[in-house]
Structure formats: C-alpha cells, structure tokens
Structure 1
Amino acid sequence: MSRKRKDGTVSILQDLHIIDIAEEGKGVAKADELVVFVEKAVPGDVVDVRVLKKKKNFAEAVIETLHTSSELRTDPFCQHFGTCGGCKWQHMQYEAQLQFKYKSVEAALQRLGKVDTTMMEPILGSAEDTYYRNKLEYTFSNKRWLDRGDMSDTTDLEMNALGFHVPLRFDKILDIQHCYLQAEPSNTLRNQVRGYALRMGLTFYDLRNHSGNLRNLIIRTSSTGEVMVVVVFAYIEQSQIDEMMAYLQHEFPEITALLYIINQKKNDTIFDQEVITYAGRDHIFEEMNGLKFKIGAKSFYQTNSAQAYELYQITKEFAGFTGDELVYDLYTGAGTIANFVAGSVRQVVGIEYVPTAIEDAKFNSAMNGIDNTIFYAGDMKDILTASFIESHGKPDVVITDPPRAGMHADVVARLLEMEAEKIVYVSCNAATQARDIALLNEKYDVVRIKPVDMFPHTQHVENVVLLKLKVA
C-alpha cells in the first residue's frame, strides 16, 4: 500500500518487507515493480518508508515506521550512530554482517566475472569489532552539525566541532564525543585538543571560506603501543602552534611522534605538504610476524593491524610458495606484503605509484635485514613493460593488491602476456576484481576464493582470489 501526494507521486510506501542488503549497505525491498533502497533497514524488517528520491525502476527511502523488527537487528552501541557516516551496520548483528558481505562478494563474482563460486571459502571475521583501527583523521569546523535537540534551543550554542563529515554535507562536521573505532588515547586526545582550542580562542576551519587556525587532527597508533599525532594548521601564528604542541607534549608523554603540517590549500590532502617534527620521531613502528614496519604521517598501512596479518597469511597460503619463486608484488605500497613473503621466496619485485611509499618499502626491507626485495616507483602500466619483464625475469607468482578502481586494462593485458603460473588477487572492491577476473579468464582459472572482513559494522570487505594458468 502507499500514500500519495496531491501531484500523484508516492511519498509513503507501507508494509514493505526488507529482503536483502544492497552493495552500499542499504536494505532492499520491492513495491510492485519498484526496487526500494531503505537507509538503516535490515533484512527481516517490515516497515513503512518515506520516499526521498524516485526514478523509473528504483527509489531511495528512509524508515517512517518499523512495524516488525528483524531478528538480525541489535542495538547500536555508539551515540553518534545514524548521523555519523561510519559504522553504518551497527544495528545489525555481526554474524549477519558477515553473511551479507559474503553474499555481496559472491554476487559480484558471479554477475560480473562469471565465476563459479562453489569453491568459495567461509568469510574470515575480525576478532575485534570495536577499537580495531590504527588510524583516524578528524576535521575541525566552525559549522557543527546540529541535531533536533540542538535546534530546539540555540542559546549560547557552541558551533565549533572536531569530528567527522556528515554524509553528503562537505561543510558540516559532527562533533564526536566517543568513537569506538580507535582505542585510547585516541578519544582522550581528540577531546582535550578540542577543549584546549576552545579555551585558547583558536578558530576552527571554515570549509566554505577557507579560513581559520585549525584544520585536521590525525591520530595513528600501533600494536607496539606507539602513538603518532599530526595537527594540521591553516592560518595561524607560529607562537600558537608552539603553544599547542607544547601542551600536547606535556599532557600526553606517551606520544612517540608529535608532528604538524601547515596546509593552506583548498583541499585536505597532505601528500604534497611538509611534515614538521615537533617532538620525538617522525614515524612510529608497527610489528607483524616478527617484522618491523616504519609508519610515517603519509605512509599507507592497513588500518586494521590484526586483520592485516590474517589477510597476508591467506595471501601467502594461496600462493603456495616452495622457496624458489620469483614474485611480482604489484601496488606494493610500503612493501608490507613484499616483506611479509620475502622469507619464503627467492626474490620479490615490488612496484608502486607513490615514490614515498617505495622509500618506506626499501627502508622496511633494510631494517629487517631482507636483501631479496627490489622496489620501483611509477605508474604500473608504464613500468610493467615487456623490457622490464625481460630484465627482471618472468614471475612465477604475481600478487596484486590494487586500489578500489582495480587494475588498468594495460596491466591486465601485461599479466596475460607474462603467463605467471599463479596470480593472487587481493581486492577491497569485489566488483572491479570481478571485472578484471573476467578479462583474465582468457588464460586463467579461479581456484580459490576467500573474503576477509577488515572493517566491522561497514559494508566494505576484502577478497582474496587465487588464479592458476590454464593447462594448454
């Protein structure tokens, strides 16, 4: 049933049964021929929904009335759930989240890659589903997101915020009180930084007018107990910077690397900015499988440290090394996988687009006494040429862990030319992974598949696929 506006368009759809979860994490229902995507709905719910947007074959909606609550529902544990853009599945039991992540990978591989998924292995869940991240980035703003309670009384309302962007609102920041993504001292640090800034009259960044003293706060932690804090300033006097950094150094002696950046660009990226060390080192160390990894302010490292170990173990197992392999590690980043597997192979050749990441990869090899890795920086499709392969040798195994967009078509073509015996494809986007697998199907068979959950309470999932060269 539905209620309609005067112009005849549907505004309320009644008694919809939520039957599935879409890739973006919304519940899915059907109203006649219309597919309805419902925010914060869980399969098994029976709801009335208010339609926000309607196209020919689908609509987007929010729950107006929850008539029957799914048995998969649970109470969200965070006070910011529903407004914050992260942890969108807190209202769903974790085992159910894993079930739907598994199905999303399976569907993408079947639909886009034409893959037989009967050999697909159970998804590996995360041992910890809270406080699992080792990095968070917060934004300062003078335009705090106001909820209904705030709007009821605007007297002496504090408009400054330090927190996360509200979805679809680039200029509105949700002021975070407690975040369950990163362990202490993360929450205490953030709250004390906010308090200090308010007491000292420092201005929070204006995202529209590009003005203000304080811009971002980055906190990185490691399993070794080390802490990195990076304060990103905009328009501020050096004396104010020194006073704030001295305050942090005094209040948090556990900080290993206390750094700052002055960014006056119109975007938040820091990769082209100078990082200044105020106190301690310019990096922290992470440990995995007996190896140490240097993590700088700009370094890439998997944000779920414990689950990253599991992901790399699966990658190594899928490769089935015997000890004499030449391995190409494509999109190697800071060489984490390359160094992780180096002790099990003859040589690893790593390629990565970001030059600073390659410097980290080389440093990590040297620090761990690994002498059978070699790294190159540059665009993958430009480096991985026929002459490069002739110079370094045809790989026995290729490990590829590309960004969400997947591999460039030229890179896939080169893999087909190389004809490595095995390809282990690690992906954070099953759709683009499936697309690439469909292209590789010309010469490769999929023989193993295993999803790995790196990000509990979100719709995101990693997937590891082993491809073997077809027998001629």
Structure 2
Amino acid sequence: MLKKNEIIRLEISGMTNEGNGVGKHEGIAVFVPFTVIGDVIECRIVKVCKTYCYGIIENIVSGSVERTKNDCPVYSRCGGCCFRHMSYEEECRVKEQFIKDSFERIGKLYPEYDSFEGCKQLVGYRNKAQYPVAEQDGRAVCGFYSRRSHNVCDHTDCALQPAIFKAVADDIMAYVNERKIKAYNEETGSGLLRHIYLRRGEHSGEIMVCLVITDLKKRGVF
C-alpha cells in the first residue's frame, strides 16, 4: 500500500474531466494534476484513500509529445481551466473520450458518434464569466477560485475570456475600492459584494453586468 510522501515512478495513461492525469501503481489508481497522457513522472503521494491516491509531480522523467508550456501566469493556482498544459488537439481527444465514457462505461449505451469538432477560436471565446470577490491585504479583489478551494486567485486577464471582461471587472473593482465597499466574507457572513457576473451577446456585442450581493433584507436595508 502506498504511503503519504512516498515517491514513485508513474506513467500517465488516462485523464479525468477535472484535468488530472491518472496512472496505475501496483493496481492502485494515482491522480496527478498538470500531467498529460504519455508523461512518465516521479510522483510524490500527498493523499492516500482506500482504493486510490492523489499525487503531485516531483520530476518529469519524460514528457508526453502532447505536453505544452501553458501561457497563463496563474495557471498553477487558478481553477478557471485545467487543460492548458497540453496541446489543443490532445484536449479535443480527451474530451471526446469523456463523451464516449459517459455513454459506454457509465450509461452502458453504444451509439454511433459524429466526428468531434474543435473550436476554431482558441482564445477569448467564452461568453460568460463569474468572478468571486474577496478581500486580500486590505483591498477587494476578484478573479477565480483556486483549485479545490474558495480562495480567490486575483486575476482577471484570462485568455479564455474576451478582453472587454477584464476592462469591465477592473473598472468595477476600482469603484469598489474607491468607495470602500466590502467584499463578502464566507467565514463571517459580513461584507456586501459576492460575485461579478458578466455575459456577452455573441451577435449583439452587448455586455450584461450583474453584481451578486448579500441579502439586504436580512441587513435591514429594505
């Protein structure tokens, strides 16, 4: 049985829809983020469960041919996306397999599949964003939740979002900090602003801006 902090050699042979690579060690599945099918790594075990484990990369012995250098400065700590460390062609293959697994392995259904078509626009294609707001170092910030947590990664310059979203979010946060509007605190229930929700009309180009706030009735405002 594997032990916490044990370092093992692992070949990544599969991928989860959360973006974790999967390898088998003595019959035990080990899930490792930021890996690609075909990677051979030295892996440190960080969590041991009854039938599987979680690990982190200690060293890449040999990288997959589909491994790429991600182009985001906060990718390692932001939870906004999970496939930027692999080629887009490999991302499409992985997602196609997710679809087939859902039908066949989970649903026990075996349909005929149309060919998988990737997106022609690889940056700025998302038409919706929801930025959680938090207070850090005495000021309100917004961005995305870090992986597997509700810690806010202070970053609005996301390559997957249209550039106008960053401009709108930054203007809102400048106003919030100028007026000293408090960000919502999940632990204490204090503060006002919880999320900034943006949506862009694909054809109209119009931007919908929604500010998600706490219940003002409970605060006696209304």
- Which bin holds the TM-score, normalised by the shorter protein? 0.7 to 0.9
2:185 to 195, 199, 206: 206
Cα 1:112–1:197 shift into 2, 3 Å: closer
For residues 416-468 of structure 1, what are the alpha-carbon distances to aligned partners after superposition, in whole Å with 9 as ceiling and x for unaligned?
Answer: xxxxxxxxxxxxxxxxxxxxxxxxxxxxxxxxxxxxxxxxxxxxxxxxxxxxx
For residues 96-147 of structure 1, what are the alpha-carbon distances to aligned partners after superposition, in whole Å with 9 as ceiling and x for unaligned?
Answer: 0111111222223222333335x322112112122111111112112x4xxx
**Counterpart in the other structure of 2:77:** 83
**Counterpart in the other structure of 2:158:** 179
For residues 267-292 of structure 1, what are the alpha-carbon distances to aligned partners after superposition, in whole Å with 9 as ceiling and x for unaligned?
Answer: xxxxxxxxxxxxxxxxxxxxxxxxxx
**Equivalences for residues 392-411 of structure 1 within 5 A:** none
> Structure 1 CA distance, aligned partners of 2:124 and 2:216?
32
2:145 to 149, 158, 165: 165
1:196 to 169, 175, 180: 175
Structure 1 or 2, whichever has the larger Rg, is 1
**Counterpart in the other structure of 1:18:** 12
**Counterpart in the other structure of 2:34:** 40
* Structure 1 portions without partners, runs of 5+: 145-156, 235-262, 267-472
Cα 1:169–1:116 shift into 2, 3 Å: closer
- 1:129 and 2:122 correspond: yes
Cα 1:233–1:114 shift into 2, 3 Å: closer
* Structure 2 portions without partners, runs of 5+: none
**Equivalences for residues 306-455 of structure 1 within 5 A:** none
Q: CA RMSD in A?
A: 2.3
CA contact (8 A) 2:4 2:47 kept: no
2:153 counterpart SS class? strand
CA contact (8 A) 2:200 2:207 kept: yes
- 1:219 and 2:207 correspond: no
1:62 to 42, 49, 56: 56
For residues 167-209 of structure 1, what are the alpha-carbon distances to aligned partners after superposition, in whole Å with 9 as ceiling and x for unaligned?
Answer: 3323x21111411232132101111221222233222221211
- What is the letter of the counterpart of residue 164 of structure 1? F
> Structure 2 CA distance, aligned partners of 1:168 and 1:20?
20
**Counterpart in the other structure of 1:29:** 23
TM-score after normalising by structure 1: 0.43
Cα deviation, residue 166, structure 1: 2.1
Cα 1:265–1:218 shift into 2, 3 Å: farther
> Structure 2 CA distance, aligned partners of 1:42 and 1:112?
23
> Structure 1 CA distance, aligned partners of 2:161 and 2:20?
25
- 1:72 and 2:66 correspond: yes
- 1:141 and 2:130 correspond: no
Greater than 6 Å deviation, 4+ residue runs: none
CA contact (8 A) 1:33 1:57 kept: no
TM-score after normalising by structure 2: 0.87
- What is the letter of the counterpart of residue 163 of structure 1? G
> Structure 1 CA distance, aligned partners of 2:184 and 2:113?
48
> Structure 1 CA distance, aligned partners of 2:106 and 2:115?
21
**Counterpart in the other structure of 1:98:** 92
2:105 counterpart SS class? helix
Cα 1:54–1:228 shift into 2, 3 Å: same
> Structure 1 CA distance, aligned partners of 2:70 and 2:134?
26
2:166 counterpart SS class? helix
> Structure 2 CA distance, aligned partners of 1:21 and 1:192?
38
Cα 1:230–1:23 shift into 2, 3 Å: closer
The count of aligned residue pairs is: 217
- What is the letter of the counterpart of residue 95 of structure 2? K
- 1:230 and 2:210 correspond: yes
Cα 1:229–1:107 shift into 2, 3 Å: closer
For residues 16-67 of structure 1, what are the alpha-carbon distances to aligned partners after superposition, in whole Å with 9 as ceiling and x for unaligned?
Answer: 1111112432111111121111111101111111212212321111112112
More helix by share: 1
> Structure 2 CA distance, aligned partners of 1:265 and 1:75?
49
Cα 1:264–1:78 shift into 2, 3 Å: farther
- What is the letter of the counterpart of residue 31 of structure 1? H
CA contact (8 A) 1:82 1:88 kept: no
Cα 1:208–1:30 shift into 2, 3 Å: same
> Structure 2 CA distance, aligned partners of 1:173 and 1:121?
39
Give % identity.
28
2:196 counterpart SS class? strand
